[in-house]
Structures are given as structure tokens and as C-alpha cells.
Structure 1
């Protein structure tokens, strides 16, 4: 069985010596950013689209600028691997944002309380991602054939995403709520922004806590896809965790900006499926052939740009059609789609 263990690889990934203080600085930065965000949103109100756009832009700028920090601290291809990992995680998180919208609608969570759920949801996601990344890097280092397993899994997931774009269900919703119900009663009534309330003198969970449990559960499901996808472009735990963390930190602002844009970003889901297939193929063959990091980055950016451009063109085409014909005809054209396949 020794042939199944890792031997000298032909892969060419960044190998950097990360001092302990660098990990400490990264974690301190993440905690500080979370603290600032918590203080900025201490008032329970729904962010305006303008504020959500500003905050989302700030988070993205900080995430991209960290590539400069990596470039200054480490030479070679480390910055490129970070950017590729960041873009993969950020793009795959778009589906996460849309699922959050479904979760909040299911539990009837008012907009002003949603940031509180997402704050603790993101906090838990960071811890879960750290565990997933540590386990993934260790397993791949010991068992090289897991690269093929993860790669094929990503390819199949990408194909599934392409074939089932309109599945609106919330992954694991019923299971997560049932699990919470075994621990304590779940009240159907909100108690302001609190996660707990009293029912007949007994402690009970509010729909806010139920929504948080489902958010965390769905993140575990998404992490099964996204962590192997980022491991396809880097094997360095510091780079993988940093790219995941900075991408996740901006998701709350992105949610309030993008939650209502699903139809306007019609083709972004197709791009996500193609990205999963691409990184899955890259991971599958990485033992024998390593694709240059800059090329991987270019492919990911190109797929995202093409999806956005195609979505905008579709939106303008439907708007023009809506102005020319009755709304019923527009709905029929929308269902038929551009390729004649029902969406």
C-alpha cells in the first residue's frame, strides 16, 4: 500500500516559510475587522443599497490588497496563488449569498436582524474553514491519490451545477432544524434580535437561532466544494486560509447588495459550474502536469467576466422585448431561454 502514500510530486506550488508571528498577525487582522464590522452595525437596521455597495467595495479592496502584503513578505508565485484562491472562493460564495436569501425568507427573518445572523455565521464559517483546510492539506500531503478523488468530485459537482441551476431548495434545512429541536424547543416567534427566548418558563430557540444553525450547516456543504477547489491552486495553508478568510469576510455586505440580483446575474451560476469543472480537472492532473498559476487566474477571471457580460446582455434584451410585446410573451421567452432549454 506504500504506493498510495505521497511521494515526491511533480507539482509546482509556492513553498513559503511562514513564521508564527505572521499567523498571529493574520488572525489579529481578521478579529479586528470583525470587531469593526460588529461596532459599525451595532444599530439594528437594514443597510441601504448604497452603504452595502460601499462596504462591499471596501472588503474587496482589502482582500485584493492582501495580495500585495504576500508579495512583499514572500516572493515567487505566492501572490498569484492567493489571488486565484480568493477569486475562486469569492465566486463560489455567490451561491451561498442566494441560499442565505432563501433561508431568511423561510424563517421570515426581518432585514434589520439578518446582519446579526450573518455575523455569527461568518465567524463560525472561518473556524470551520480552518479545520477543513488543515485536514485537506494534511491528507493530500500523505495520500496523493486524494487529488484525483477531490478533482473528480469537483468535476461532477460542476456538472451538477450546470444541469440544475434552478434548484431553489435550502441544503440541509430540515435536518439542521430537527437537530436543533432535539437540543431545545424552537419557538415560532421572534424575540427581537435575541437567539433565545422563554416558552412556558423554559429556554427555547428563536427563529433567529434556527436560521443561524441552517446558515452554518449550509456553509459546511459549500466548504466541501470550495476548500478542495482552492487546494487545486495552492497547497500552502497560510495562502489557502487567508484567501478563504478575506473572501468570506466580505460576504455579509455582498449579501445585502446581491440578494435581489439573482435574475440579473443569470449566467453567473453557469460560470461557477465551469470554474468547478476547470479546477477539478486541474487538480486531477496536477500530480503529472502543473498549470501555471497566472494561466489559472486568467481562466477564472475570463469565465466570471463572460458570465457578467452575458447576463447584462440578456437583461437588456429582455428589457427591450418587454417594451415591445406583452409581459406574457416576455415570460415565455424567459422560460425558453437563449438555448431553448427551460430554466
Structure 2
């Protein structure tokens, strides 16, 4: 009997079936968004969010039934990490939409194009990360140190917001691509004066896609801290990204009330960073060094998310004028600090 072909320890047929299913869900999203551009209401957003969260959890149950024991729990933990980090993405998306003054009817289209691009780019990064973990044993140590550094930066700059105009890809596109001044019915491209031009919505899509890629540099090492299985890493990323469109409209108003968002994410990233470093020391230095198990990781992440949400809502109720920040630091913020240093 011919041996079953595998990629990263997972059968190729499982990869093919899962990717086909994810692409089908993405296609459904495009049909829903493109059939009739409209402002998404709370009921519609809640319904679609429930559908995507349900699909993600059902996939975990399927893995728990069909795969090795513990696989389903590992996937759900990774998905939860990605989902919590995606809330920070959504906050930046809100800033981008506001900066470009995107009408509500066209926001979901811009989100979908950005999410599709982010999904493709993350697949490449996951492949690179999986190869690095396999070929270079200190990768876990490097990932752990990166996550701990990011956690410290989030705490230090928890009151900062990024500026979309600091995106180098966006700045380059503005220089080289002729751009219309109008949204032009939600199109990405248009003709004006006989010239083919991009619309502001194309720049929004570009900004969302490239911004999410920067977030992936933190979130992918984080999920590798949960599992080294590239199939589970990809699935956790994909199912977390697919629900972003609906989640964006569902919690758009709530986002600004999550005043401790950056602190909560910093704790999660720092915890996973410690977990990765302990894993490296356990495997490369001494088996006597303890590792953090998946059930413990899941309990810690859930506890941090719950505490962050409750504390944020209580703080917002007592101080309604206080708003949340992403904790990200834009190039413009850094340039201002450099100028202050030079002036001294």
C-alpha cells in the first residue's frame, strides 16, 4: 500500500480540504459584501460573528474527534490567541477607515480585500516560520525574546496610536500611483481623463493588508508558542482572520472602551514568550526545566482576556472620556521623539 503523503505531519488531503473550505468561506463573504454594498447593522454583524465563531469551534471539535488526543484543545488555544490579537488589528482598521473617511457602505469591501491579502501573506510567513523551527533550534528562543520585547513595547507605548500615513508601502503607492479623489462607487480602480487610476478605497485596502502583515510578525510567533504544527498554526490564523469582517462591525463601538487592551495583550504576549523560552531550555539545555502545558496556557489566556475586558468596562464607566489605544508606535511618533532628543 502506498504511504500517505504528508506535509508538516498532516496528510495532504487534510490540507487540501481545509484550504478549499477556507476559500469557500472567503468567497461567501465576498458575495455577501459585494451583492449589495451597505452599512452593516448590529444584528447582521452579530449573526455573522456567531457563524464564524461557531465554525471555528466546530473545526476544533472535529480535530478533537478525528486527530490525536489534545489536538482540538491545542488548536482552540492557538485560535484564541490569534482572535485576541486580532482585536488590536481591528482597532487599527477603525483608525484607517476614519482617516480615509470610508463610507460605511464600502467598509466591509475594503476589509475583505485586506483580509484576503493578509491570509495569503500569513501563509507564506507560517511556511517560513515552520521551516525555521525545524532547521534552527534556537528559533523558539528568538521567538520568545521577540514576544517579550513586543510586550514591553506595548506597555511602554500603551497610550500611543499608529498613524496610517507612516506606512512606507502606502507612502510609496501615493507617489507612484495616480489616485482619484472620489471613492467612485466602491471600486478599486477607475478611469479619469483617459487614464487608469486607483481609488482611495484601493489605498485603504493596501493599508489594511500591509498593516496586518506587521501584526503577523508578532501573532505568528505567538501561535508557534502554542503549537509547532504548521497545519494548526495555519488553521488558527485563517479562522481568526475570516471572522474579522463581522467582528469589526460588531465591536466597533466597544473597541474604544477597551482601555486596558494593550496591557492585556502585553501580558498574553509576555506569557507566551516565557513559554517559548522554557520550551527551548527544556529541549536544548535540560529536561528538568518545566514546560507550560496547553491546558495551563488556555486557562491563563482566558483569564487575562476576561480580566482585561471587565477592568476596561469598569474603567470606562467611571471615566467615560477615557478611550483605548492600540499600544502601537507609529513612525511619526518616533520621529517626534528623535527630534526632541536632538534638540536637547
**Shorter chain as normaliser: what TM range?**
0.7 to 0.9
SS in structure 1 at match of 2:274: helix
- Cα distance in 1, alignment partners of residues 149 and 78 from structure 2: 20
Calculate the aligned-residue CA RMSD, in Å.
1.8
Q: Give deviations 1:275-315, integer Å, cap 9, x for gaps.
A: 01111111112121421111011100010011111122223
Is the CA contact 2:30–2:112 (under 8 Å) kept in the aligned structure 1? yes
Matched residue, 2:20: 28
Q: Gaps spanning 5+ residues in structure 1: where? A: 1-14, 320-330, 336-343
How do 1:1-343 and structure 2 match up within 5 A? 17-41=9-33, 42-170=35-163, 173-287=166-280, 288=282, 289-318=290-319, 331=321, 334=322
Q: Deviation at 1:172?
A: 6.4
Between 306-315 and 275-284, report the one with greater CA deviation: 306-315
SS in structure 1 at match of 2:196: strand
- Cα distance in 1, alignment partners of residues 165 and 103 from structure 2: 22
- Structure 2 vs 1, CA of residues 232 and 172 (structure 1 numbering), >3 Å: closer, same or farther? farther
Q: Give deviations 1:105-145, integer Å, cap 9, x for gaps.
A: 11111111011111111111111111111100101111111
- Structure 2 vs 1, CA of residues 171 and 108 (structure 1 numbering), >3 Å: closer, same or farther? closer
- Cα distance in 2, alignment partners of residues 174 and 129 from structure 1: 18
- Report the TM-score, using the length of structure 2 for normalisation: 0.85
SS in structure 2 at match of 1:290: coil
Q: Deviation at 1:173?
A: 4.0
- Number of aligned pairs? 308
Is the CA contact 1:172–1:218 (under 8 Å) kept in the aligned structure 2? no
- Cα distance in 1, alignment partners of residues 318 and 50 from structure 2: 28
Is the CA contact 1:184–1:203 (under 8 Å) kept in the aligned structure 2? no
- Cα distance in 2, alignment partners of residues 312 and 108 from structure 1: 28
- Structure 2 vs 1, CA of residues 292 and 30 (structure 1 numbering), >3 Å: closer, same or farther? same
Is the CA contact 1:173–1:214 (under 8 Å) kept in the aligned structure 2? no
